[in-house]
Amino acid sequence: MSAPFLYRAWVGASMVLVPFFARSEVRKLRRAGVSVLRAHEKLGHATEPRKKGVPLIWFHAASVGESLSVLALITRMGVALPNATFLITSGTATSAALIADRLPPRTVHQFAPLDAPGPLKRFLKHWKPDAAIFVESELWPQMLRRTFASGAKLALVNARLSEKSMTSWRKHPAFARYLLDVFSLILTQNDAMAQAMVAMHAPTERVARGINLKSMSDPLPVDEDALYEARASLRHRPVWVASSTHEGEETIVLAAHKELLKTHPDLCLILAPRHPERGQDVMNLIAGAGLSLTRRTRGDAPDNQVFLADTMGELGTWYALTDVVFLGGSLSPIGGHNPFEVAQSGATVLSGNHVSNFAETYAAMEASGAARLVADSDDLTVRVDALLSDDALRGKACAAAIAFTADQTDMLDSIAIRLINALELSK
């Protein structure tokens, strides 16, 4: 298949612009505390060796959510392919830091090379991947075509494109066909996305509905020392968590908490905003609501009415303190966040109605009794109060959450085997 004009234009533009993008990307990583050596991975300069004589499977994701979503899949594929090694690439310093603490066996992380000839040639010459698995919407033109030209087999998993992106792709059918033709298998999050990929000229016989990998991620890590200290500070007080909240949602959560304190005067709310850099603003909201607070970034313990957990990577520890979690990004049209991580901790999930990013997961969890959707502050208050007041109700909901996570294991194994077969890795 000959390269369409748009692809050739992209290649030409990248050759001109790569010095500017390189400086910008390296500077961004350096500001985030990444070493000079590692920041130059963006230019295709590897900082880890490639083990010779064994298959290497490359996973490429964009940022935190996409990167973490594939770690469990890498683990399963590693069990089925005990001689294989794995490479995961991502683009941000935050994703690199979180991945570093959770790398599966025989897996290394690198920053993804820029989509330009020089960085990609250096990257592919060093790593020589036998297969490459791209996650969600990571459709970088040269990365796809040059990897395909190297002889590697390619797959797209968890495929998800916004309506805006799909509209743009449909305007350039030859370009879309040229890129999507590289994939031996395209697994989408749902049936609607499978149909959309076919409409974008993906080969029909290679497109299938998969699963939302974010709903099958590994359990969040728990800091046992921090957990012990928090429990000692709380002294058996009842706790509920509101996590991954966005601007506007904290006000709703705090209003609910004030109402709950009337019937549960010892109740502690652990409030973990999605973006910790909003910590000062959220602290002002808590104080403005007339609630006493302590703050994680000050080194405080959770011993007041609200504990502001304004750090990254500690949700697993806070989930271990409660049976009831409200998951944000859902009271306004953001699309929701991953309820599977909450269920894995053994807690039941409450969420707003805006959960399009995890629609299938929430539907299944609601049906099983592992999750409930709420409309507003009053509804949230009623739901939390019912769970805190009724041990049997709370126990049933938590048991449903644990059962739901167990049911997902076989599905993830089936996806791993399907990829191994499609990418001809079992030979």
Residues designated as active site = 66
Specify the DSSP element, H or E, that contains 293. Answer: strand 293-295
Provide, for the chain, the percentages of residues in helix, strand and coil under a 3-state DSSP scheme, each rounded to the nearest 5: 50, 15, 30
Half-sphere exposure for 196 (CA within 13 Å, toward CB)? 19
Cα(250)–Cα(265) distance, rounded to whole angstroms? 20
Q: Helical H runs in 171-310?
A: 173-180, 191-199, 224-234, 249-263, 279-288
Helix H, strand E, coil C: the string for 162-197 is CHHHHHHHHCCHHHHHHHHCCEEEEEECCHHHHHHH
């697993």: which residue's tokens? 316
Half-sphere exposure for 176 (CA within 13 Å, toward CB)? 19
Q: For residue 178, give the nearest of 135, 204, 144 by alpha carbon.
A: 144
- Cα Rg, the chain, nearest whole Å: 23
User: Which SS3 state, helix, strand or coil, does residue 59 take?
Assistant: strand
User: Which SS3 state, helix, strand or coil, does residue 89 take?
Assistant: strand
Tokens representing 278 are 């909003």
Q: For residue 285, give the nearest of 314, 312, 247 by alpha carbon.
A: 247
Tokens representing 305 are 């009415």
Sheet holding 306-308, edge to edge: 293-295, 306-308, 268-273, 239-245, 324-327, 348-351, 371-373
